[in-house]
A and B are shown apart, each in its own frame.
Chain A
Amino acid sequence: MAPIIDARTVYKTYEGGGLEVHALQGIDLAIEAGEMVAVMGPSGSGKTTLLNTFSGIDDISSGSVVIDGVSIHDLADRERTRYRALHMGFVFQSYNLLPVLSAEENVELPLLLAGVRQSVARGRAREMLALTGLADQARKRPNEMSGGQQQRVAVARALVNEPAIVWADEPTGALDSETGGQIMDLLCRLNEEHRQTFVLVTHDATVGGRAQRIVRMRDGLIESDERLAPVGDRFA
């Protein structure tokens, strides 16, 4: 079976202030559908750049990233954005919810972007919030919720349109260990139930340990690629 993410010799160089920073230096990585992969490494190793470039929210300098058969960087910005809306979900370290929208409004946003009718979108958003344990918080704004609750909303938002791939950048980075553990439980459960592909960027070994595969990075290169358990076995 072809991998859902197939990256070949991906380079990414940032230029600024007369300096060049080689964030990715020829990355080759293939991820299969349904895998939960943790990308780990010290600060500046290129983890977040890998997530940004592989998900198409940033350009690459050279190489190719093929997502489910689509060369994401060959798409025009408009198509790439549309592709993200339909096939990807994102969870960020600092939740990055829209502060002016309520929890349910935040969650339904990707559905509206995908063209789902408002009434249907609202129903699905509520179902997703119930699934993440926030049914009673649906009308609250982010500033009325705790960090853990906000991250659950972010997870609900990432998964509401049933994306093939969920990208999570330090999903527990801003949370205490207990709340972080709960979020990871949630992600693992959803991965198991929905068989979606999760790519988690983290420097937290506990989070990494919950994944099926750990890709370690250093200086823009993959240092190691360790498969902890085959897909399916982990939840057997």
Chain B
Amino acid sequence: MNSLFGIPINSVMVTLLAVFGLGVALTAFFALRSPVLFRMAVRNIPRRRAQTALIVAGLMLATLLFSASISTGDTLANSIRIQLLKGRGLVDEAITSSARDATGQPAGMDAGVVGRVKDALVDAPVDGVMGAYVLRAPVVAPTSQRNEPRVQVLGLDPASLSQGFEPLEDADGRVLDLAALAPGEVYLSADAAESLNAGPGDALAVFLAAQPTMLTVRGVLATRGNGIASMAAVARLEQVQTWAGAPGKVNRIFVSNDGGLVDGAEGTDAVEAALEPLVEELDLTVDPVKRDALTTADSAGAAFTSIFILFGNFSMIAGILLIFLIFVMLAAERKRELGIARAIGAQRGHIVRLFAFEGALYSLMAAAVGSLLGVVVGAVMVGVVASALGQVGLEVHFAFRWQSIVIAYSLGMAVTYVAVVGSSVRASVLNIVRAVRDLPEPAAHGAPLRALWREPWLTARRGLGQLARMRPGGLRVLTLGMVGAWMRLAGGLARGGYLLVVLGVLAVQAGLAGEQLGVFLLGLSLVAMGLPLVARHALRLPDRIAYTCAGVLVVALWILPWEPEDIGLPELSAGIEMFVLSGVMLVVGAVWVIVYNMHFLVEPLAWLLGRGRRLAPVVRTAVAYPMANRFRTGMTLAMFSLVVFTLTVVGFIIAAFSSAFEDTRTFSGGFDVSADVSFTNPIPDMAAALAAAPGIDTAQITAMGQVSGLPVRIVQDETENEPRDWFVTGVDAGYADAITYGFVLRADGYEDDAAVWRALREEPGTAVVASFIVPARSDFNVQVGGENFRLEGFYRDDPSLPEVYLTITEPTGGASTRLRVIGVLDEQAAFANTVVTAHETIAAIAPVQLPYLGYQFILDDPAQAPAFAEALEKGFVANGLRATDLAAEIREQSQLNITFNRLIQGFMGLGLVVGIAALGVIASRSVVERRTQIGVLRAVGFERVMLAGSFLIESSLVALLGILTGLALAFGLSVSIINSIGESFASVEYRVPWGTVLLVFGIAYGASMLMTLLPALQAARLYPAEALRFDE
């Protein structure tokens, strides 16, 4: 993987290392200036080993997620690289004629061009140039009666092969001499040999035309490279030229650059530059196959890394909350000693430094553990990916690079350390007397705004005054002092809600200007949060009312099904980031509402449980603590609900798609079996051929559609785009009549989907296109792979389809025609091609008679599809017919999707560790913090089991509230999400994923209780007198 979020990996690494280095240098500088504080920080770490372990576990999560995401991306990139490089070997560029033959393949060139290419590259970093001829044909092995419809028949020049290219070898490593092949002999690739069950000496019938050419297998190739495809038969160049009827011609020229398998691509720029005059003169195309393969592999790896990092965001946010909580609790634990330190002269800055030092040390440890553990988690994820990708034929090869570890470490360290410093600043705010006497802090209201407004001016005046008196402190006051004064003012404005309103209004404007729904809704949320806080500050609205209003407004904003267009605003674009944003905002809103109204929920529960007399005192104390510690309860609730929310929403999405895939005909367009034949040996009249074919009962065929295809140059009219090589599909009337695919957009005048399909055959020059080549305002898909042909000027989620025309030009003859787009297929049209028109429309511009090569069948009994497909293949072996049971294919594809979704769900589930760890931290911290109270409770009659029960009920309450909040939000938001998906994917259903819900509930709740059990038992074991004597 060479890039992360589009930035070159080395730049990312160097930048992060620089940030990391700067952080370490600053920490070291301050440590040298304040060695006592540093010593205190170091000595605090081993004071409570179990707690230190919990802290490190909590802090390492961010790094672990980065590391796992990056190592998964590395592995996938590596696997795709290996796959792609297998076929290319040492070939770095493939040169072809820009002209195309009737099959869409590059036209043949005079073999003399090879010499001219060699001459042009004499000074370039090249070690081999080789002419080749490529054909594709169905192949039948008469002995085994197996066939392969698309086998590459490749002719290579033996003399050139030995100069800069890889030798051909068999499985034992013996070199297979190409020059030694007799006429009619070929070497078969290992995959083709396995598929055809053919070996040395076996005969092959190759359908280069209607009549087969009989060949003999001389050996089986273990190696590929040299442009050899997975399914290939390799022969001498002149032999293939003869079969193709093109003596003295080549249609490929392979170039091998200096260097090895991967670094050869570095010479591609020089080769392209050297070939430029020849390319222009002879109208050639230079395809940088190696560089493209590496780019494709890296972009796929980077896309996977981005997906995992994106979905890992929830866990990371929860992790940051945990870091904050941990440090706030550490500060509470050491309140008395911090108070004493402040009393004897320590500044707030010293306290910040003390925590920052300690946090830095924890972060260093945690990032190290996290980055290494992330590789292990990545390996497990790769194992799952491997089993899923095995189904599509990609072998997974685990890989990680030291750069990735460095990036994960630095990134994790940076995130952790920023959170640590933020929480240190909060921890440093304490009242000395209250801290020394260990009294609770009153609710923080901060200094009055009026005073804060004056502070920057007063600070400036003081600084200038000192400068005027030539005092050195003046400069410090004017710099650091001013920054502090402005920050305090900003803090005051934020507390009062004013800053939120201002930022919100700015974000709303930015969202409207940039047509970004996420920014717009974020802005509205900030305003919704800010206004009640302003009322609280300005009108003395009680906290509970203000925060409840703010929370309710935010939740309503995100959960209610409304669109900006409903209030007269323009349609705004949305992407996958909406998922993260909605989750965070909903959780913030819900947590505010709950923590400020918890008594409404908890007191009836306490009353109910308290009716059992033995339970009454236990429940009373258990519910009192979470209600009194709003901050802690809120943070823990947020962690739990955020992760549970995301896991459940993904569960809903999986369930919705699973339900959609139950009706496979929705995705196959109503067809049951799909078949295709080779261009070299088409079936002129399929209906007649079926009737004549043995073993096929035509009575079971309800409908049949026929499909043709034409390679074209395509461009959207009235755009500046260059024409692109593309493939347009033509369908017959049978197909248009039978197909059931629907449309997300129809042109005016077509009242329903059937009308569009009818028009395709009745109105020449009309076409429909696949949804993925039309941009969407709300696009939740993540693009993996290269650039596609895409339309522009409208969106698939627009209310109507404008006039859109495409011009297609047949590349060899130059005939062209204009297509009017009358429909955009919905996302369920899985087997439709990108541009579909009537067969007659493309046949009219084809240079030769255009045969049908694809066939779709609807059967009387869909259950007969496998048997029918098998009978088709047997009946049309000579045509290289390959038939597919569409329902099975769709189910397989659906299973692959579900495996990936489950993997992402599992990855997101790592965030649950955070919530569980938070409860563990709180419970173990509570035992220390409440030691004296535990002593009192035991003294006045709390039995051990009651005390343990009280701790467990307390954690239960918080965990249950968090889990149920997450579930409630997920149940609510999923309605909108499924409806939104349903707009382009009609067959999805809102279905509750009870399995996921119960699993998430069970794991989250069970693990939380286990985590609390140890501290609860620890509390119960305390001896009352010992607890009462306790003074930390």
Contacts and interface: CB of A to CB of B under 8 A. Distances in A.
Given A58-B1023, A82-B941, A117-B613, 13 more contacts: A53-B1025, A55-B939, A57-B935, A78-B945, A84-B940, A85-B940, A90-B939, A96-B933, A96-B935, A101-B621, A113-B617, A115-B614, A116-B613
Given A58-B1025, A78-B943, A92-B1028, A100 B624 contact: yes
21 contacts: A58-B1025, A78-B943, A81-B941, A82-B943, A84-B939, A84-B941, A85-B941, A90-B936, A98-B621, A98-B624, A98-B936, A99-B933, A100-B624, A100-B628, A100-B629, A109-B940, A110-B940, A112-B617, A113-B941, A113-B942, A118-B610
B440 A143 contact: yes
Interface in A95-126: 96-101, 105, 109-110, 112-118, 121
A82 B1023 CA distance: 15
Interface of A: 52-53, 55, 57-59, 77-78, 81-82, 84-86, 89-90, 92, 94, 96-101, 105, 109-110, 112-118, 121, 141, 143, 157
Contacts of B933: 96, 98-99
B616 interface: yes
Given A58-B1024, A86-B941, A96 B621 contact: no
A96 B932 contact: yes
B340 to A, nearest CB: 18
Interface string B615-627: 0110011001101
A174 to B, nearest CB: 10
Contacts of B628: 99-100, 141
Interface string B929-957: 00011011111111111000000000000
Nearest to A81: B943
B884 to A, nearest CB: 67
A89 B942 CA distance: 13
B1026 interface: yes
Interface of B: 439-440, 442, 607, 610-611, 613-614, 616-617, 620-621, 624-625, 627-629, 932-933, 935-945, 1023-1026, 1028
Contacts of A82: 941, 943
Contacts of A116: 613
Contacts of B614: 115
B448 to A, nearest CB: 23
> Which of A59, A100, A109, A114 gathers the greatest number of chain B CB atoms within 10 Å?
A100
A96 B629 CA distance: 18
A57 B941 contact: no
Contacts of A112: 610, 613, 616-617, 620
Contacts of A96: 932-933, 935-936, 1028
> Which of B611, B933, B1024 gathers the greatest number of chain A CB atoms within 10 Å?
B1024
A169 to B, nearest CB: 8
Given A100-B624, A100-B628, A118-B610, A113 B1023 contact: no
A77 to B, nearest CB: 6
A233 to B, nearest CB: 32
Contacts of A99: 440, 628, 933
A62 B939 CA distance: 21
A57 B617 CA distance: 19
Query: Which 6 residue pairs across A and B have the least CB separation, nearest first?
Result: A85-B941, A58-B1025, A100-B628, A112-B617, A57-B1024, A100-B624
A82 B946 CA distance: 11
Nearest to A154: B936
A57 B613 contact: no
> Which of A77, A109, A114 gathers the greatest number of chain B CB atoms within 10 Å?
A109
A18 to B, nearest CB: 19
Nearest to A157: B940
Contact of A77 (B625, B627, B944, B1028): B944
Contacts of A97: 936
A105 B941 contact: no
B621 A58 contact: no
A78 B620 contact: no
A105 B939 contact: no
A52 B439 CA distance: 25
B940 A118 contact: no
Contacts of A77: 943-944
A94 B933 CA distance: 11
A105 B1025 contact: no
A96 B935 CA distance: 9
A117 B610 CA distance: 9
Contact of B942 (A55, A81, A94, A105): A81
A88 B326 CA distance: 39
B1028 A109 contact: no
Contacts of B936: 90, 92, 96-98
Contact of A109 (B439, B442, B620): B620
B938 A81 contact: yes
> Which of A53, A55, A96 gathers the greatest number of chain B CB atoms within 10 Å?
A96
Contacts of B629: 100
A82 B932 CA distance: 19
A94 B939 CA distance: 15
> Which of B440, B1023, B1026, B1028 gathers the greatest number of chain A CB atoms within 10 Å?
B1028
A114 B620 contact: no
Nearest to A94: B932
A121 B620 CA distance: 13
Contact of B1025 (A57, A81, A109): A57
Contacts of B1025: 52-53, 57-58
> Which of A55, A57, A89, A94 gathers the greatest number of chain B CB atoms within 10 Å?
A57
Contacts of B625: 100
Nearest to A117: B613
B627 A90 contact: no
B624 A105 contact: yes
A126 to B, nearest CB: 16
B269 to A, nearest CB: 71
Contacts of A121: 616
A47 to B, nearest CB: 13
A85 B616 CA distance: 14
Given A86-B941, A90-B939, A118 B616 contact: yes
A130 to B, nearest CB: 21
Contacts of B607: 118
B605 to A, nearest CB: 14
B940 A90 contact: yes
A53 B1025 CA distance: 8
A143 to B, nearest CB: 5
A161 to B, nearest CB: 9
A112 B607 CA distance: 12
B776 to A, nearest CB: 52
Nearest to B936: A96
Contacts of B610: 112, 118
Contacts of B937: 98, 109
A59 B1023 CA distance: 9
A119 B746 CA distance: 70
A155 B175 CA distance: 99
A78 B941 contact: no
Contacts of A109: 617, 620-621, 937, 940
A53 B550 CA distance: 54
A118 B613 CA distance: 8
A82 B935 CA distance: 15
A136 to B, nearest CB: 21
> Which of A78, A85, A94, A98 gathers the greatest number of chain B CB atoms within 10 Å?
A98
Nearest to B932: A96
A99 B616 CA distance: 18
B303 to A, nearest CB: 50
Contacts of A86: 941
Contacts of B941: 81-82, 84-86, 110, 113-114
B65 to A, nearest CB: 35
Contact of B939 (A57, A98, A114, A118): A57
A7 to B, nearest CB: 16
B351 to A, nearest CB: 23
Contacts of B940: 84-85, 89-90, 109-110, 113, 157
